[in-house]
Amino acid sequence: MKNEKFIIELKEVKKIYRMGEIDVSALKGVSLEIKRGEFITIMGPSGSGKSTLMNMVGCLDVPTHGKIYLDGKDISKMTESGLAQIRGKKIGFVFQKFNLLQTLTALENVTIPMMFQNVDENVRKKRALELLEMVGLLDRANHKPSELSGGQQQRVAIARSLANDPDVILADEPTGNLDTKTGKDIMDMLKRLHKNGKTIIMVTHDSNVAKEAKRIVLIKDGIVVSNKKE
């Protein structure tokens, strides 16, 4: 049954990876509820299970045990093609290294998520131009990533993440490759998106950046050790 309050729910999620002859438990029974319209940060040291948790929340992987609900739909047993479809509609991704295609222009990069959802070409271009204008880069629409600064590339990545008007923005170390001022500009942009109703889930090592969120989830050794509101 759909729970209107929560956009994402993890129930006793375990993830075990087979490494040769050894089973490695990356997550050891994580339960987490993320409210619709919430802004949370996931933190944890290297090897804590933080990246695995991000993959679960972002529908990039399925659990070995437990359940994951995205907008009330159980995604735990979905096929890869099923996961790709639902995350394409519901989740926008922003990465530390921008992950823009170097051979494409800013405009073309922003249109890519819409291509996978079979959006009409004219609609794709119109929407992409609107998004580039929103992030202040309309005049850079025909520039390739190599012709843009790091901050500009991240703004293109944010525009791309919004292409299909997703409910959730998953930002993985979004300020990690940026100087302090540019990082602040990107955080201001994420906060505006949150204010406009988007659910923001951010992964970061930076405690100062983490404090911008309304709740910090700390994971260590595959379990949530703290889940507190700021």
Q: What is the average pLDDT value for the chain, to the nearest integer?
A: 91
94-103, 185-194, 203-212, 214-223: the lowest-pLDDT one: 203-212
Q: What secondary structure letter does DSSP report for 162? A: T
- Global pTM exceeds 0.75: yes
Question: Which CATH fold would you assign to the domain 6-229?
Answer: Rossmann fold (3.40.50)
Q: How far apart are CA 154 and CA 170, in angstroms?
A: 13
The predicted pLDDT at position 124 comes to: 95
The bridge status of strand 65-70 relative to strand 73-74 is antiparallel
* Packed helices 121-134 and 150-161: angle between N→C axes, nearest 10 degrees: 130
Q: Which two tokens stand for residue 64?
A: 């070995």
Q: How far apart are CA 189 and CA 102, in angstroms?
A: 23
Tell the burial category of 64 from Cβ atoms under 10 Å away from its Cβ (0-12, 13-18, 19+): middle
Domain residue ranges of the chain, discontinuous segments joined by +:
6-229
- pLDDT range class, residue 162, cuts 50, 70, 90: very high
Share of the chain above pLDDT 90, in %: 65
The predicted pLDDT at position 94 comes to: 92
Q: What is each CA distance from 70 to 3, 33, 119, 162, in whole angstroms?
A: 10, 10, 23, 18
